[in-house]
Amino acid sequence: MDRKSSFKVLEWVGLALWLGACNASHSPSPNPSAAASERRMLALTAECAAGSAAGGSWVCTAPSSTVACEDVADLQPIRVQAPAGTTCDNGDLRVTEDVQAGSSVRTFTVSGESGATLCRTTIDIVDEAPPVLQTHTIGLWPPNHKFHDIAVEDCVTAVDACDGKLRGEFIWASSDEPIDDIGDGHHSPDIGLSANHRTVCVRSERQGPKDGRVYKLGVRVVDRSGNAVEGECAVIVDHDKRGVVGADSGEKYRVTFANDSDAGFGVACTGAPDEPPPPPPPTDEDQPDGGPGDEPDPVDGGPGPT
């Protein structure tokens, strides 16, 4: 009598969970360590099939030659047939999995109680669905004109049914206030991008006479099969802490990051001034004629600065 039992191949299917803290003072970013433990465990089983295998070898038959990642959990067991004269016992079957790097074809090996291989079968586990994004809202405070680094994982949480190695990058950023206008401290630029496109820096400031600043950051996340999804998150600088929260006043400008030559690429995100920039050096007109700092007056039409 067959003993009805099954043996599971435990497979960690990637749920890439990108969560991280940023340096915002009241960011609602979830706890990264808690999120990192959220993974879904899938199982594949092997069971003895009725009848004997043709020939003198054991035969393993996969429940399907191809399956989408999200359907792996619903797969039926691998069917195992023993050669004529041999008894298949569910209780003896062991299943192991071999994943070739760069391939979605998984080889499943069924072994007997002694560990000797009985047979193998393959399943092509395909990923045709892009990751799913959950976007976050990030708050910056105080509006002291400092840059804050925002990583892709601060901006979005990406989950993919198949893939634990997702690639994410920023593709654009925008602001609902001009770079330099009334009551904003006159610092510029306000948006920068790291060399690997995985961190954007935005300046924590807003115009005094307005209703708070809202940056938006565009991201693209791609899984190893090339399935891509785009999303955006908001970075908000409230006007004050007396109840005037940052309101989206509509996009005033946008910086795209498609090419290294785009505005915003390569802008240093560190060393932002805490105080307004120093006044320009005195010009010749500020010096008394013939005084120690006086330079000869330029000749109209002469060579300009090089």
| Shortest separation between residue 6's beta carbon and Ca ion, angstroms | 59
**How many other C-beta atoms lie within 10 A of the C-beta of residue 256?**
16
Residue given tokens 């955006």 in the structure block: 232
| Shortest separation between residue 180's beta carbon and Ca ion, angstroms | 5
Can you read off the two tokens belonging to residue 4? 């009805």
| 8 A C-beta contact, residue 212 and residue 247 | yes
Site string for Ca ion, 97-136 (x = CB under 5 A): ----------------------------------------
Site string for Ca ion, 234-273 (x = CB under 5 A): -------------x-x------------------------
Assess 45 for contact with Ca ion (CB under 5 A).
no
126 vs 267, beta carbon nearer Ca ion: 267
Dihedral over alpha carbons 111, 117, 119, 121 (to 10 degrees): 80
| 8 A C-beta contact, residue 216 and residue 246 | no
| Shortest separation between residue 173's beta carbon and Ca ion, angstroms | 13
Q: Is 101 helix (H, G, I), strand (E, B) or coil?
A: coil
187 vs 197, beta carbon nearer Ca ion: 187
165 vs 242, beta carbon nearer Ca ion: 242
Output the residue with the shortest Cβ distance to Ca ion. Answer: 249
Size of the site for Ca ion (CB under 5 A): 7
Please give the radius of gyration of the chain, using alpha carbons only, rounded to the nearest integer.
31
Report DSSP state, residue 83: B
Alpha carbon distance 94, 81 (integer Å)? 14
Alpha carbon distance 125, 263 (integer Å)? 41
| Shortest separation between residue 279's beta carbon and Ca ion, angstroms | 17
Of 60-68, 156-164, 172-180, 280-288, the window that binds Ca ion (rule: CB under 5 A) is 172-180
| Shortest separation between residue 306's beta carbon and Ca ion, angstroms | 30
Assess 190 for contact with Ca ion (CB under 5 A).
yes
| Shortest separation between residue 188's beta carbon and Ca ion, angstroms | 5
Of 43-51, 83-91, 169-177, 192-200, the window that binds Ca ion (rule: CB under 5 A) is 169-177
* Separation in Å, CA 52 to CA 45, 47, 80, 84: 20, 14, 9, 5
| 8 A C-beta contact, residue 301 and residue 172 | no
107 vs 249, beta carbon nearer Ca ion: 249
| Shortest separation between residue 145's beta carbon and Ca ion, angstroms | 7
The maximal CA–CA distance of the chain, rounded, in angstroms, is 114
149 vs 211, beta carbon nearer Ca ion: 211
By CB under 5 A, the residues from 196 to 235 that bind Ca ion are 211
| Shortest separation between residue 243's beta carbon and Ca ion, angstroms | 15
Assess 176 for contact with Ca ion (CB under 5 A).
yes
Alpha carbon distance 39, 205 (integer Å)? 38
Alpha carbon distance 151, 16 (integer Å)? 15
Residue selected from 106, 136, 148, 187 as contacting Ca ion according to rule CB under 5 A = 187
160 vs 190, beta carbon nearer Ca ion: 190
| 8 A C-beta contact, residue 112 and residue 93 | yes
- Could you list the residues that contact Ca ion (CB under 5 A)? 176, 187-188, 190, 211, 247, 249
